[in-house]
A and B are shown apart, each in its own frame.
Chain A
């Protein structure tokens, strides 16, 4: 069964460093998403991406964040200058269509900022 994959599974970084989280969405899916979950809290939407551009973003997704689809398979989330409060699980998701279609989640990247 096709699935969303993410790398790395764990990332430890120093405050102020840049990190890039990588995702390979399900191959026939057109819509891609990033969510994050701070330990013990709810899953929060960050950004949605379609047709090589951001379709929606939350207030969390400020200028320190960017997304890119550098090739036909990868979808990346970059945090330019990490803060302690960026420590969380970051989930990539994808769906065939947008507008409320079912989203399938990857296994996540656990980011720890020291």
Chain B
């Protein structure tokens, strides 16, 4: 069974601090990884995607991928209350069309 694992949280982070979200995946053949943000009752909204080992930065967000460890992370710098949401890690499985989602980590930014 191909899986994406995340700590469900909640993860509480003070406003202005760095939030660190982590994810592991089971399929060593996965090539593409995604972070989506989901507010309660809303649809997943793409934050970042990453295909290559290393870091990828976009504004306050940095995605990190380590294929050897099968590990993906998302850092959010200068956390804002509006960042409070559930963050979904997702991985494409072995060049399939589908992506597999983790259960998500609830992030709570404390004002």
Which A residues fall within an 8 A CB radius of B? 31, 33, 41-45, 48, 50, 55-56, 58, 89, 91, 98-108
Contact = CB atoms under 8 A, between A and B. Distances in A.
The 10 closest A-B pairs by CB, nearest first: A100-B92, A100-B32, A48-B97, A45-B98, A43-B101, A98-B97, A105-B43, A42-B103, A108-B43, A99-B95
Contacts of A45: 98-100
Looking at chain B's contact residues, the main secondary structure is loop
Contacts of A50: 97
22 contacts: A31-B97, A33-B97, A42-B103, A42-B104, A44-B101, A45-B99, A45-B100, A48-B97, A58-B98, A89-B43, A99-B96, A100-B51, A100-B92, A100-B99, A102-B32, A102-B49, A105-B44, A105-B45, A105-B46, A106-B43, A107-B42, A108-B42
Interface residues of B, number: 24
Contact of B32 (A89, A91, A101, A107): A101
Interface in B27-51: 31-32, 34, 36, 42-46, 49, 51
Nearest to B45: A105
Nearest to B31: A100
Interface of B: 31-32, 34, 36, 42-46, 49, 51, 88, 90, 92, 95-104
Contacts, number: 59
Contact of B88 (A43, A55, A56, A108): A43
A102 B46 contact: yes
Contacts of B90: 43
Contacts of A42: 88, 101-104
A27 to B, nearest CB: 18
A103 B99 contact: yes
A52 to B, nearest CB: 15
Given A31-B97, A43-B44, A91-B43, A102 B102 contact: no
Contacts of B51: 100
